[in-house]
């Protein structure tokens, strides 16, 4: 059995996830992990699947036959797991380059961003543009946890950071 990471994109429509799941199932594949979103009429997904290596080419052919679906893939590999996972929610005034600042800050501390979900919204009471991000981070050293808040608060006085897990 081999593991693969697949990213998918297509115009959103009913039954699309079912078509993808059928293609994987027909090739004796196991759907292990996924994130799926609908953004501006587009379906976007990232999947981790496991299937017999001799079925891989047939799966690709099946997925490529789904109308409008584009995909990329790579064979997954085992990596050293982090010693601790932590989750945070960050809210700040929206501004260009904020994701770059966040990722640079965390990377400089040796912290891996394992999951990142962001959203643009306006504050209901003021109408100010806000950036909201939920992050799951992988730590390789317990001292990194203290660095997270210290470093992210340096991004600006408008940053609000809550540890969620």
What are the tens digits of pLDDT across the range 116-163? Answer: 999 999 988 899 999 999 999 999 998 999 899 999 999 999 999 999
Helix axes 56-64, 16-26, angle to 10 degrees: 160
pLDDT tens digits along 62-118: 999 999 999 999 998 766 778 999 999 999 999 999 999 999 999 999 999 999 999
Strand partners, 38: 43
Q: What is the pLDDT of residue 79?
A: 67
Say if CB 93 and CB 53 are below 8 A apart: no
The bridge status of strand 112-122 relative to strand 70-75 is unpaired
Say if CB 61 and CB 23 are below 8 A apart: no
User: The dihedral of CA 131, 134, 140, 144: what is its sign?
Assistant: positive
pLDDT tens digits along 25-59: 999 999 999 999 999 999 999 999 999 999 999 99
Residue 98 region, left (φ>0) first, then alpha (ψ -120 to 50), else beta?
A: alpha
Q: What is the pLDDT of residue 76?
A: 86
Residue 8 region, left (φ>0) first, then alpha (ψ -120 to 50), else beta?
A: beta
Q: What is the pLDDT of residue 38?
A: 94
């Amino acid at each position: 059995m081999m593991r693969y990471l697949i990213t998918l994109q297509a115009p959103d429509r009913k039954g699309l996830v079912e078509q993808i799941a059928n293609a994987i199932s027909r090739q004796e594949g196991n759907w292990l992990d996924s994130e799926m979103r609908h953004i501006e009429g587009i379906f976007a997904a990232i999947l981790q699947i496991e299937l017999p290596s001799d079925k891989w080419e047939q799966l690709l052919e099946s997925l490529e036959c789904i109308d409008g679906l584009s995909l990329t893939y790579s064979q997954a590999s085992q990596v050293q797991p982090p010693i601790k996972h932590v989750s945070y929610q960050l809210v700040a005034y929206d501004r260009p380059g904020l994701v770059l600042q966040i990722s640079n800050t965390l990377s400089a501390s040796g912290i891996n961003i394992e999951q990142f979900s962001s959203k643009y919204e306006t504050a209901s009471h003021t109408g100010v543009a806000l950036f909201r991000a939920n992050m799951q981070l992988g730590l390789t050293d317990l001292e990194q946890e203290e660095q997270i808040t210290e470093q992210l608060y340096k991004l600006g006085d408008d940053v609000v950071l809550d540890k969620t897990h």
